[in-house]
A and B are shown apart, each in its own frame.
Chain A
Amino acid sequence: MGRLILTRLAMMAVNVLAISALLFFSVTTLLGSPAAMMLGEDASPAAVAALNTQYGFDRPPIEQFGTWIGHALQGDFGRSFITRQSVAAAIADCVPVTLELTVFSILLAVVLAVGSSTAPVARRLVGAASTAAILIGVTVPNFMIGISLILAFSVGLGWLPSTGWVSWSEGALSHLQHILLPVLTLSAYYFGVFSIVYRAEYRDVCERMFMRVARAKGLGEWRVAFRHAMPNAILPVITFVGISLGQLTGGAVVTETIFSMPGTGRLFVSAIAGHDFPVMLAVGVMIVVGVVTMNLLADIAYSLANPQIRHE
């Protein structure tokens, strides 16, 4: 187990370094001179050159990458070209928002997907309804779900605020009201994919001998479903949570934009719009590190839940 984690950690470091280099070189070579961009089109060549020397844009790319990664490892991602704010501080402000949104969404999606496919009540009705819900979750774009929810609950019924963000300290109820629609929006897709994965496994588990034994013992349907079938069918969902985190960040970008939430995704979109490349790079690398870490954690959780893998 320890060795597995160590090798995975080493692979993870290589992966992250490779992707950071890829991002850095593609961003720096394709975007052209940041100095020219920062000063605008009418800047004099002398001013551009001066800025280049000041920031070190005139040095060879490989040297720039070395400096950048050296600082990044110490938690210094430079300053935003636009706001002049420290990138690390800007990201630190945004991370809690995104983290809360994604964690709530995954939890809701897993609970709904597993619950609706396990519960032994009105199987035909629930089954048909959730088949439709799965198709909707998987194919309706995030922004359409968000807009429909806003139309229904904010514009139409007026129950919930459409956009904006209120922190916990400013009022728990208001906070939850603001985060409800974004969480519903983001979890729709994951409800779909988790259900597909879980149902396939659940069907297999139901064929197994121990299910017949459990019923033969005279256990109730609820106990059979939740104590015997569910723990055996949930493993692929755990792996899938890990795999889908990358896609989740993409969904979070769209969701945060719709609901104007001050999260990492919106920071990223505005950095892209403003060609603010220190912010772009930092958020890009951070997303990759996050995704790779979560993949590793999912693998560890998986091997903890399944002793066969642990002892390999």
Chain B
Amino acid sequence: MRHPSLQRAFGCTVIAVAVLLAVFAPLLAPADPNRSGVDMLDLPSLANLFGTDDLGRDIFSRVMHGAQPSLLIGFGAACVAMLIGVPIGLAGGYMRGRIDLLVVGVIDLFIALPGLILALIITAMVGATLRNLVLVLGFVMWPPVARLVRGQALAVREALFVEAARAVGGSHGWIIRRHVLPNILRVIAAQFAVSVSVAIFTSASLSFLGLGLPPPMPDWGGMVRSGFDYLSINPFMSLAPGAAVTLTVMGFYVVGTSFK
């Protein structure tokens, strides 16, 4: 997959399927994701496409239902990261001087912190709910966004049209809004897609470590974790939700990088 258009097509297809599942899973899924049965750890069959889990629930339906929380966390956290990172990056890159020194200092301070570790600590303290995960992951992901936006703003502010805007007496706010921001929007959009993929990746890792959404919520990372104990009986209990995470992460990542 060397061609950007091919990558983009793959990524967009994956995203479309994921969004479709997130919205219509209750209509599309063949079974109730939380109804347990007596046939536990069955291998894949026509009735249960990926078999059943340790409580006899249909894995296929659970994977379909897992799309919604994953995408909510992914989009939500990426939005939070943008809301914090973009203004900070713009301020540093456009204003230069002391503000920039402060911005770079804060970014460096936070970038030294490993995102997953930070997310683990904060999630453990505030509790793993959908809202908390969105906020925590967004907070963990803003430094790279700010760094990218700062670099872009730094380059754009030297452009002739910014000088012209300043020469006609434009205020800083107006120049940033009308001249700097539109020119780096493409990069921000690409970073947004990458951020969604990182958020889904990280939240799945958190769930795998036991800090995911509380059961019985179908949560991909948590499902991989619970299937881990039954790997030799029905590997699909781990593999199916794991593949769902992987494809979704790959889809968003590929779309994001193809626009960079």
Q: A144, B245: Cβ atoms under 8 Å?
A: yes
Shortest Cβ distance from A32 into chain B, in angstroms? 9
Identify which of A19, A26, A254, A268 contacts B205 (C-beta below 8 A): A254
| B231-260 interface code vs A (CB 8 A; 1 in, 0 out) | 110010011001101100110011000000
Question: By the criterion CB–CB under 8 Å, are B109 and A15 in contact?
Answer: yes
User: How many contacts A-B (CB < 8 Å)?
Assistant: 124
Residues B125 and A291 in contact, CB atoms below 8 Å apart: no
If over half of A's interface residues share one DSSP class (helix, strand or loop), that class is named, otherwise mixed; here it is helix
Question: Does B114 reach chain A (CB closer than 8 Å)?
Answer: yes
CB within 8 Å for A23 and B246 given contacts A155-B232, A253-B116, A269-B209: no
Chain B 105-117: CB-based contact to A (< 8 A → 1; otherwise 0): 0001101111111
Q: How large, as a class, is the contact surface on chain B?
A: 35 or more
Q: Which of A43-51, A175-183, A206-214, A243-251 contacts B (4 or more CB under 8 A)?
A: A243-251
Would you call A39 an interface residue if the criterion is a C-beta within 8 Å of the partner chain's C-beta atoms?
Answer: no
Total residues of chain A contacting the partner, CB 8 A: 47
Q: B204 within 8 Å of A by Cβ?
A: yes
Min CB distance A98 to B, Å, is 13
Q: Are A150 and B231 in contact (CB under 8 A)?
A: yes
A132 at the interface (CB under 8 A from B): yes
Mark A289-303 against chain B: 1 for CB-CB distance below 8 A, else 0.
001100100000000
Taking the nearest CB of chain B, how far is it from the CB of A138, in angstroms? 7
Q: Are A254 and B208 in contact (CB under 8 A)?
A: yes
| Known interface pairs A138-B253, A139-B246, A268-B120; A155-B235 also in contact (CB < 8 Å) | yes
Chain B residues within an 8 Å CB radius of A135: 1, 250, 254
* A159-B125 Cα distance, complex, nearest whole Å: 41
Is there an interface contact between A280 and B121, defined as CB atoms closer than 8 Å?
yes
CA distance A249 to B116 in the complex (A): 9
Q: Is the CB of B109 within 8 A of A26?
A: no
Q: Do most interface residues of chain B lie in helix, strand or loop, or is the interface mixed?
A: helix
A92 within 8 A of B: no
Neighbouring B residues of A251 by C-beta, 8 Å: 116
CB A259 to nearest CB in B, in angstroms, measures 11
A19 contact set on B, CB distance < 8 A: 109, 112-113
Residue from B109, B209, B238, B253 within 8 A of A18 (CB atoms): B109
The A279-312 residues at the B interface (CB cut-off 8 A) are 280, 284, 287-288, 291-292, 295
A147 at the interface (CB under 8 A from B): yes
A31 adjacent to B125 (CB under 8 Å) = yes
Instruction: Mark contacts of A76-107 with chain B using CB atoms, 8 A cut-off: 1 yes-contact digit, 0 otherwise.
Output: 00000000000000000000000000000000
Query: Is the pair A257, B208 in contact by a Cβ cutoff of 8 Å?
Result: yes
Indicate with 1 or 0, residue by residue over A130-145, a CB within 8 angstroms of chain B CB atoms.
0110010011111110
- Nearest-neighbour CB distance to chain B for A286, whole angstroms, equals 11
Smallest beta-carbon distance A143→chain B, Å: 5
The 5 closest A-B pairs by CB, nearest first: A250-B116, A246-B114, A30-B125, A139-B250, A144-B242
Give me the interface of A with B, judged by CB distance under 8 Å: 15, 18-19, 23, 26-27, 30-31, 128, 131-132, 135, 138-144, 147-148, 150-151, 155, 243, 246-251, 253-254, 257-258, 268-269, 272-273, 275, 280, 284, 287-288, 291-292, 295
Q: Knowing that A287-B114, A291-B114 are A-B contacts, what are 7 other residue pairs whose CB atoms are under 8 Å apart, sorted by A's residue number? A: A19-B113, A132-B1, A141-B245, A143-B221, A155-B235, A258-B228, A273-B124
